[in-house]
Amino acid sequence: MKARIGIIGTGWVGTSVAFSTLQAGHAGELWLYDQRSAVAEGEAMDLADGAAFYPRCRVQAVPLEKMREADIVVLAAGRNGRPDETRLALLRDNARIAAGLGRALQGFGGILIVVTNPVDVLTRVVQAASGLPLERVIGTGTLLDTARLRERLAVRLGVAPQSVHAQVVGEHGDSSVPLWAGARVGGVALRDWPGWQAGEEATMAQAVRRAAYEVIQRKGATNHAIGLVTAKLIGCIVNDERQLLPVSRVQDNGVALSLPALVGASGAHQITAPAMDRAEREALVASSELLDRAFRSLSE
């Protein structure tokens, strides 16, 4: 099925999402909106000029109200993080924007994907403002952190990233929780892999958490990897793939954070509890509490 995909925000991230989505062939129509209407129009024109090199899709800039007709809307509006600025430090600036967009999309019949940081808190903000069912407001969450962990483990172990089965849960940020206890490489427990030392885990976890800071210090923003991540998530929804992915959504305790969820055409369902040791469970509780405090700080 070719879907109508809307992207709100045509900055670094929004345009990377658009490019990756076009290349993946998920969209029959791709709609772009930005408060800077000329920028959205220019990006649409630029992308449309490459139509000979991606699967058939009509690309155009549209007004915000048109987004209500889309099957999937990606929220990528907001400012980027500054060098060494935590994602949570972005909160007040981007929460105001996210809440306004959520209200504008009340009654929307499709699925919202939140990309803007801090993505977990903003997923909660958007869900509350839009009033949409929990399963239809999905943050990209730790899907990117998980990709970063798999890539670094693959390099360290000399295998393909596709052979590494490890994930990160909790906050997409400094309190993220890599799940070492359940990590597998080609069916073998990571902690049983020849040459792997448990002492490496803390160093690698910190490298994954610092990845965005390192990119931002050098080029000002992260955009390409999150574009690929978002296109992957769009594909799971459009094709009803029902993959278990670590994405962010409002959980039963009211906090939005990442846990493995079954992602398909109707959203993110069937939250699963992955294998964790005691330290990982405690870290996940701490991450949840941090995110809850951040959300509640918006009303102070």
Residue 280 is which amino acid? Answer: E
Whether the Cβ atoms of residue 58 and residue 30 lie closer than 8 Å to each other:
yes
CB 180 within 8 A of CB 170: no
Burial of 154 (0-12, 13-18, 19+ CB in 10 A): middle
Partners of residue 245 on adjacent β-strands: 261
Residues facing residue 6 across a β-bridge: 31, 73
Structure token pair of residue 76: 């990528």
**Length in residues, the chain:** 300
CB 7 within 8 A of CB 76: yes
In angstroms, the Cα distances linking 248 to 65, 95, 120 are: 26, 16, 6
- Catalytic hit among 165, 172, 224, 269: 172
Examine the residue annotation and report whether 26 is marked as an active-site residue of this protein. no
Is residue 254 within 8 A of residue 289, CB to CB? The reply is no
Token pair in block for residue 291: 């995110």
Q: Contact at 8 Å (CB) between 173 and 166?
A: no
Residues marked active site are found at: 172
